[in-house]
């Protein structure tokens, strides 16, 4: 039986009540530097925080104040518990709300989101898990529109994680709203495997140089690559 928690070096994720558990690609996404070197966000928004994983990883990385929103009440309560027990509880907040109804007082310097993405797959019997993984709860259109409404127009950067095909559809929505690609990260489970996930960062300011990288998670031997270890060594307990 799997643990109901995931222990990191500086924080702990209780996840027994969340539809979406901690995943390897989610951890990789949280650890990535998806902004230019001199970019220091002071306000970050995590859309659909779930367990609070991404917000907690960004709290470890930065000095920013981080707001998180979550539509599922049980996941909201789980994230709240995880935030309150972390070393950065004074900089973390979670709001139980629908993204489309969220009305903050100011723009965000950085927005992060690991959105639901299954489109045509048959829904299962677990309603909470359906919300977490099926994009009927957050469409490409709604996410792109919300980002354009909430991001700081002069310096904001929004980063999302999708599978390859879905990223193409979402990128088109962002392009239609005047966004440029700041970073494009291709993630492979192994070197000879197809792209497993793709991370892109978007801004309304055209970058001088786009960050483009490829990340390989595991060697053929199934051990983590040096690239993955170097990225996650500040977070994973046993790296």
Domain that holds residue 65: 40-232
d(CA 46, CA 53): 10
Determine, yes or no, domain membership for 35: no
Tokens, residue 23: 């995943």
Burial class (CB in 10 A: 0-12, 13-18, 19+), 107: middle
The number of folded domains in the chain is 1
Determine, yes or no, domain membership for 181: yes
The helix (run of H) or strand (run of E) holding residue 90 is none
Determine, yes or no, domain membership for 201: yes
| 3-class secondary-structure state, position 77 | helix
Q: Comparing C-alpha atoms, which of 60, 62, 68 is closest to residue 39?
A: 62
pTM of the full predicted structure?
0.90
Contact 159, 28 (CB under 8 A): no
| pLDDT for position 125 | 45
| pLDDT for position 68 | 98
Query: Please, how many CA atoms are within 13 Å of residue 38, restricted to the half-sphere of its CB?
Result: 2
Give the CATH number, domain containing residue 208. 3.40.50.150
Determine, yes or no, domain membership for 99: yes
Residues 6+ apart with CB under 8 A from 79: 49, 50, 51, 52, 55, 68, 70, 94
| Residue 43 Rama label (left phi>0; alpha psi -120 to 50; beta) | beta
Tokens, residue 219: 């060697």
Determine, yes or no, domain membership for 117: yes
Determine, yes or no, domain membership for 238: no
pLDDT in tens, the chain (239 residues): 456 889 999 999 998 878 778 999 999 999 998 887 778 999 999 999 999 999 999 999 999 999 999 999 999 999 999 999 999 999 999 999 999 999 999 999 999 999 986 455 444 444 444 444 434 568 999 999 999 999 999 999 999 999 999 999 999 999 999 999 999 999 999 999 999 999 999 999 999 888 999 999 999 888 999 999 999 999 999 88
Determine, yes or no, domain membership for 176: yes
């Amino acid at each position: 039986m799997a643990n109901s928690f995931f222990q990191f070096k500086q924080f702990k994720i209780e996840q027994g009540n969340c539809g979406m558990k901690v995943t390897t690609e989610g951890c990789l996404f949280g650890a990535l530097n998806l902004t230019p070197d001199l970019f220091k966000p002071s306000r970050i928004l995590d859309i659909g925080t779930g367990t609070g994983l991404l917000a907690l990883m960004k709290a470890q990385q930065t000095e920013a104040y981080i707001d998180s929103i979550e539509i599922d009440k049980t996941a909201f309560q789980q994230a709240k518990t995880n935030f309150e027990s972390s070393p950065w509880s004074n900089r973390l907040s979670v709001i139980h709300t629908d993204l489309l109804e969220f009305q903050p007082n100011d723009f965000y310097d950085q927005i992060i989101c690991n959105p639901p993405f299954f489109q045509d797959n048959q829904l299962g019997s677990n309603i909470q898990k359906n919300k977490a993984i099926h994009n009927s709860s957050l469409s490409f259109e709604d996410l792109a529109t919300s980002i354009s409404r909430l991001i700081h127009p002069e310096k904001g950067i929004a980063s999302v994680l999708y599978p390859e095909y879905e990223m193409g559809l979402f990128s088109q929505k962002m392009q239609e709203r005047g966004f440029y690609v700041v970073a494009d990260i291709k993630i492979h489970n192994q070197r000879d495997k197809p792209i497993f996930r793709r991370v892109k960062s978007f801004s309304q300011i055209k970058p001088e140089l786009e960050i483009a990288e490829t990340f390989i998670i595991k060697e053929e031997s199934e051990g983590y690559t040096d690239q993955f270890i170097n990225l996650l060594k500040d977070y994973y307990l046993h790296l």
